[in-house]
């Protein structure tokens, strides 16, 4: 009982706080200093870039839909004065600003022009400015009227010569037919196209503001509280003027509504503007107007209406959803679509009534409504806690009281099955089958869930579906009951709404939306990761759209997206959301009466909240087709703000960016979405949602390009967006010069280390060489003191013996021949000792080999040297010398040749050594590579050649002589020739490869 009283108290308080909207179909926003808004707004204009400009005694302001900015300068040019009054945007996009104390400033293409009395402008305040059909600009000032012809540099005064008083001029208006109207102190004057002079219009009284209706009627205000029809000539009889409307100014919007500025209110009237059909409605300070004295009105390019008052400004925009206008707020209304058009509504306090879209109201039943149901035969069922009433299509009403034991209990839901029987859910009792006045709980079926069914529905097969609390749905198919729950894929929490949709069944609940395909349940996953919360009403339109009413507002799912979901279950579902910004008041009811959404016969959808009923025509949803202009407002790096211009170069060392941007969508700026990308950092677009700033940190030096795009409330993107190119210069340590310096220092360090290493190796090699030379000297001493001395002794001995033999004896000749050979051996021994004792610089190779060959072969020896003799690498010198000596020795000892030739060729890229003879050659039984057994001269020659990387060839044939050929590459033979030899080889390869 306590819970019921508490619930009732909450409902009562909610209903008491809700007031009827003074302007149905419009969303109203007022600014009284919020977000920097000015007070005492005098005039508005809108430039092509989308900015809304406002003049006030406090200065010039501009507005992007979110924030107001006071402008001391425009496009980099400082304003002449902070007290501005007249505003105009011409067709060429220039902004004209009139000064309260005289003068006009014109801004366009980043240029500023100024017109004063010097340029022919009348002195005094510039009240208003108007552009003529030919592009001329007319300035109404406090001392008269003047115009600036297209391309002219001076204003031309218009006055008595043209029949116009030279007095305070308030406004110039060009009518649809080209007629010019001028409001001057004392009356209104007009001039038709082609005429030179002005004539006074009727009535002949002082009037200030003018406005032309869509039918061409000109309305003039006396500036106090009266509006008159303005005529070119007085009516017959010249009667006294009669004011038909109040107000001191007016504006006709694009829909033909007349908005009248009154001293204490804004009044909207519909054609014909006079009489009951005008449906006059007011917005006052008591109902939310920003202040008294509405003094200016303006309609922007998106159709928003702007009102300037003495205390601030107001915006009125058409909403997509329209609240039903009623004098008294509803209290938990239940809705059911009418069989014709409109909706039937009943609540806890008022009778059940039929409401037409035009506002007509018809009372149907005097009863409190807790549930309503439209049967397939057109019958309307209404129920509460005492009875059910059924209205046949003919209008006949039958009352059906509840059984005694169920009186006082509300009907939660009703449906009629395929057999024509009614199923009703009774609060706290469960589901009953009502047949011939008999109420049978659960229809006498086994397996029905306990408790109240929050929703009932009948599918096209005539089966009954029942949704329950705690995530349960029951299917009643004849005598069989099937209950679905968590194990069947349901995750809805409390089930609050069911919709039979052909072969499918949709179920909405506390935690989302699901559908049954005849085999299994599928959960619906919104594309943005949100949840469809508290769905208590659903409808499918003739166009195939699915509409939901839930805790977060109204959701529209397009037919194409819905069909894709059915084809590919589990895919993220796109949707469109309507909420308070679209005129929806409150949120969907979660308990009773349900469902909270219904569809009338004309296709209009009706949504019930705690105290309001809103509607929308899904076939005629107003759309904003204008992509919002995008502009980058500011850029900060660190604590420093920088001007926004392309090619901006930030200070050295900048690492972070804070970029503020905006989009000039004035209708629903809360729904303007952005995406941006910083080229050089972002690989793809960043979705910023409604956020109007971008942040970047830890940026590297380089060139960057920032681009931002925006979409309006209907998803229309401005694909051009706004861009900003900027550069972050590197510090010295981040430049290429610094990198080169590091590379150079590294190279120098490596070179130094290499030099130290080579020095160490040089010293080490020098030490080794000294050790080697010492060892060579020791060996040389040993050879000299032992072998050579012994041989010398033998030579002396044999020489003494030979002297004792007869000169012509054969034995003496043999001994002398042997002695000559011994002398040669001694000579070779001395040479070896000389070699061992030689310094690091060897003798010339050619000379040594020629000397050796001459001793061994005498006149059989011939030597040829090509090229300039060059210094050889010591090791190469030693090995080549040994190989050549071995070849000469073999030729002298074994070849029996009459001619032995030595050829040395010092080529740039190689050293060539060749020894050839015309002797007997190597016998066939011996291998040219190995030589005879026990002899290793030929083997040694080949091994020595391999040790120095030389190419060695030995060619021999019996009776045809022998040729030994040795080729040492230049980079191995000559000191310091490696790089040159490498270049030579590459060049030879390139030549060999040929062109291309």
Nearest to 124 by CA among 140, 111, 147: 140
Q: What is the mean pLDDT of residues 559-565?
A: 95
User: Mean pLDDT across the chain, nearest whole number?
Assistant: 88
pLDDT of residue 795: 73
Q: What is the mean pLDDT of residues 729-746?
A: 84
**Higher-confidence position of 20 and 117:** 117
Half-sphere exposure of 694 (CA within 13 A, CB side): 25
pTM of the model: 0.73
Strands 673-679 and 702-711: antiparallel
Q: Which two tokens stand for residue 730?
A: 């590197």
- For the cut 90, the answer to whether the pLDDT of residue 567 exceeds it is yes
Q: Which two tokens stand for residue 335?
A: 């809705």
CB-count burial class (<10 Å; 0-12, 13-18, 19+) for 858? exposed
Q: What is the mean pLDDT of residues 599-605?
A: 92
Rounded to whole angstroms, the Cα distance separating 594 from 510 reads 14
Nearest to 176 by CA among 147, 202, 213: 213
- For the cut 60, the answer to whether the pLDDT of residue 560 exceeds it is yes
pLDDT of residue 5: 33
Nearest to 466 by CA among 518, 537, 414: 414
* 891 and 877 Cβ atoms separated by less than 8 Å: no
pLDDT digits (tens, 9 = 90+) for 85-99: 999 999 999 999 999
pLDDT band of 2, cuts 50, 70, 90: very low
Q: What is the mean pLDDT of residues 152-163?
A: 96
Per DSSP, helices labelled H in 526-674 are 559-567
User: What's the farthest any 2 CA atoms get from each other in the chain?
Assistant: 186
pLDDT of residue 934: 55
* 725 and 705 Cβ atoms separated by less than 8 Å: yes
Rounded to whole angstroms, the Cα distance separating 106 from 103 reads 10
Rounded to whole angstroms, the Cα distance separating 526 from 532 reads 8
* 889 and 909 Cβ atoms separated by less than 8 Å: no
Rounded to whole angstroms, the Cα distance separating 914 from 81 reads 106
**Higher-confidence position of 933 and 762:** 762
Taking CB atoms within 8 Å and a gap of at least 24, the contacts of 784-792 are 784/833, 787/829, 788/826, 788/829, 788/830, 788/833, 791/822, 791/825, 791/826, 791/829, 792/826
Percentage of the chain exceeding pLDDT 90: 68
Least confident interval from 137-151, 154-168, 336-350, 546-560: 336-350
Q: What is the mean pLDDT of residues 610-635?
A: 94
* 146 and 167 Cβ atoms separated by less than 8 Å: no
pLDDT of residue 34: 84
The DSSP output letter for 783 is I
Rounded to whole angstroms, the Cα distance separating 864 from 910 reads 17
- For the cut 50, the answer to whether the pLDDT of residue 596 exceeds it is yes
Nearest to 370 by CA among 416, 326, 426, 325: 426
Classified as helix, coil or strand, 813 is: helix
**Higher-confidence position of 684 and 109:** 684
Q: Which two tokens stand for residue 312?
A: 């601030």
pLDDT of residue 358: 72
pLDDT band of 839, cuts 50, 70, 90: very low
Strands 648-649 and 640-642: unpaired
- For the cut 60, the answer to whether the pLDDT of residue 745 exceeds it is yes
Rounded to whole angstroms, the Cα distance separating 853 from 860 reads 9
793, containing H or E segment: helix 789-803
**Higher-confidence position of 779 and 890:** 890
pLDDT digits (tens, 9 = 90+) for 967-987: 999 888 888 765 444 445 544
Rounded to whole angstroms, the Cα distance separating 863 from 860 reads 10
pLDDT band of 764, cuts 50, 70, 90: confident
The DSSP output letter for 402 is P
pLDDT digits (tens, 9 = 90+) for 423-453: 999 999 999 999 998 999 999 999 999 889 9
128 Cβ contact list (under 8 Å, min separation 6): 43, 86, 88, 98, 139, 140, 170, 171, 172
pLDDT of residue 940: 82
pLDDT band of 3, cuts 50, 70, 90: very low
């Amino acid at each position: 009982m306590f819970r019921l009283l508490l619930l009732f108290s909450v409902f009562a308080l909610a209903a008491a706080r809700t007031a009827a909207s003074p302007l149905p179909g419009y969303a109203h926003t007022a600014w009284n200093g919020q977000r920097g808004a000015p007070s005492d707004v005098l005039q508005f204009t809108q430039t092509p870039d989308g900015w809304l400009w406002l003049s006030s005694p406090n200065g010039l302001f501009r507005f992007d839909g979110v924030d107001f900015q006071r402008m001391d300068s425009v496009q980099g040019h400082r304003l002449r004065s902070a007290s501005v009054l007249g505003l105009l945007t011409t067709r060429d996009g220039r902004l004209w600003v009139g000064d309260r104390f005289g003068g006009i400033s014109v801004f366009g293409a980043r240029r500023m022009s100024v017109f004063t009395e010097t340029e022919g402008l009348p002195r005094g305040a510039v009240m208003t400015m108007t552009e003529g059909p030919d592009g001329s600009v007319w300035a109404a000032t406090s001392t008269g009227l003047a115009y600036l012809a297209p391309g002219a540099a001076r204003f031309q005064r218009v006055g008595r010569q043209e029949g116009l008083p030279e007095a305070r001029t308030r406004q110039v208006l060009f009518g649809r037919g080209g007629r010019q109207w001028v409001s001057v102190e004392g009356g209104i004057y007009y001039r038709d196209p082609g005429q030179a002079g002005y004539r006074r219009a009727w009535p002949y009284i002082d009037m200030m503001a003018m406005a032309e209706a869509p039918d061409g009627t000109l309305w003039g205000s006396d500036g106090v509280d009266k509006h008159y029809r303005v005529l070119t000539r007085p009516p017959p009889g010249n009667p006294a003027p009669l004011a038909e409307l109040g107000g001191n100014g007016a504006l006709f919007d694009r829909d033909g509504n007349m908005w009248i500025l009154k001293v204490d209110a804004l009044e909207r009237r519909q054609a014909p503007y006079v009489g009951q059909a005008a449906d006059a409605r007011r917005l006052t300070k008591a109902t939310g107007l920003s202040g008294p004295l509405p003094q200016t009105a303006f309609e922007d390019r998106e159709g928003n209406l702007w009102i300037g008052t003495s205390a601030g400004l107001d915006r009125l925009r058409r909403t997509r959803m329209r609240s039903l206008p009623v004098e008294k707020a509803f209290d938990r209304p239940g809705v059911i679509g009418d069989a014709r058009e409109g909706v039937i509504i009943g609540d806890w306090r008022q009778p059940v009534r039929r409401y037409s879209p035009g506002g007509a109201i018809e009372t149907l039943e005097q009863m409190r409504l807790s549930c309503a149901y439209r049967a397939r035969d057109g019958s309307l069922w209404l129920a509460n806690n005492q009875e059910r009433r059924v209205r046949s299509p003919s209008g006949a009403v039958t009352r059906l009281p509840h059984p005694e034991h169920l009186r006082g209990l509300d009907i939660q839901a009703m449906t009629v099955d395929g057999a024509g029987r009614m199923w009703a859910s009774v609060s706290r009792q469960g589901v009953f089958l009502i047949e011939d006045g008999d109420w049978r709980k659960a229809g006498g079926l086994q397996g029905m869930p306990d408790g109240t069914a929050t929703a009932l529905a009948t599918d096209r097969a005539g089966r009954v579906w029942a949704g329950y609390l705690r995530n349960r749905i029951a299917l009643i198919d004849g005598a069989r009951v099937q209950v679905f729950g968590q194990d069947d894929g349901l995750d809805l929490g409390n089930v609050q709404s069911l919709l039979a949709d052909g072969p499918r069944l949709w179920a909405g609940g506390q935690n989302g939306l699901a559908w049954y395909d005849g085999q299994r349940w599928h959960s619906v996953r919104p594309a943005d990761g949100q949840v469809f919360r508290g769905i208590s009403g659903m409808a499918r339109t003739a166009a195939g759209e699915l509409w939901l009413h839930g805790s977060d507002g109204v959701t529209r799912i397009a037919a194409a997206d819905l069909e894709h979901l059915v084809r590919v279950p589990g895919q993220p579902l796109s949707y469109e959301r309507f909420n308070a910004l679209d005129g929806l008041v409150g949120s969907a009811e979660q308990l009773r009466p349900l469902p909270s959404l219904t569809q009338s016969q004309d296709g209009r959808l009706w949504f019930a909240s705690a105290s309001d009923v809103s509607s929308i025509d899904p076939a005629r949803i107003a759309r904003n087709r204008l992509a919002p202009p995008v502009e980058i407002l500011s850029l900060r790096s660190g604590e420093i703000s920088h001007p926004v211009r392309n090619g901006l170069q930030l200070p050295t060392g900048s690492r972070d960016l804070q970029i503020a941007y905006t989009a000039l969508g004035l209708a629903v700026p809360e729904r303007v979405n952005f995406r941006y990308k910083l080229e050089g950092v972002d690989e793809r677009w960043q979705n910023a949602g409604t956020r109007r700033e971008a942040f970047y940190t830890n940026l590297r030096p380089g060139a960057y390009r920032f681009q931002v795009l925006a979409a309006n409330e209907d998803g229309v993107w401005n694909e051009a967006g706004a861009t900003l190119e900027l550069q972050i210069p590197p510090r010295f340590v981040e430049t290429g010069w610094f990198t080169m310096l590091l590379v150079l220092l590294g190279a120098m360090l490596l070179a130094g280390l290499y030099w130290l290493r080579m020095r160490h190796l040089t010293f080490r090699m020098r030490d080794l060489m000294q050790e080697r030379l010492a060892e060579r000297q020791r060996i040389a001493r040993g050879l000299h003191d032992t072998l050579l001395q012994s041989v010398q002794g033998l030579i002396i001995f044999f020489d003494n013996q030979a002297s004792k033999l007869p000169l012509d004896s054969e034995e003496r000749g043999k001994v002398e021949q042997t002695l000559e050979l011994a002398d040669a051996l001694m000579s070779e021994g001395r040479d070896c000792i000389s070699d061992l004792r030689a310094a690091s610089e060897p003798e010339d190779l050619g000379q040594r080999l020629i000397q050796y060959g001459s001793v061994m072969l005498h006149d059989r020896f011939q030597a040829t040297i090509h090229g300039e003799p060059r210094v050889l690498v010591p090791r190469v010198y030693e090995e080549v010398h040994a190989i050549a000596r071995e070849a000469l020795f073999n030729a002298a000892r074994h070849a029996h040749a009459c001619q032995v030739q030595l050829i040395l060729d010092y080529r740039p890229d190689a050293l060539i050594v060749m020894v050839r003879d015309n002797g007997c050659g190597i016998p066939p039984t011996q291998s040219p590579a190995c030589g005879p057994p026990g002899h290793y001269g030929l083997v040694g020659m080949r091994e020595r050649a391999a040790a120095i990387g030389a190419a060695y060839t030995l060619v021999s044939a019996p009776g045809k002589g022998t040729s030994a050929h040795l080729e040492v590459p230049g980079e191995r033979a000559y000191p310091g020739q490696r790089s040159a030899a490498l270049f030579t080889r590459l060049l030879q390869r390139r030549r060999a490869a040929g062109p291309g």
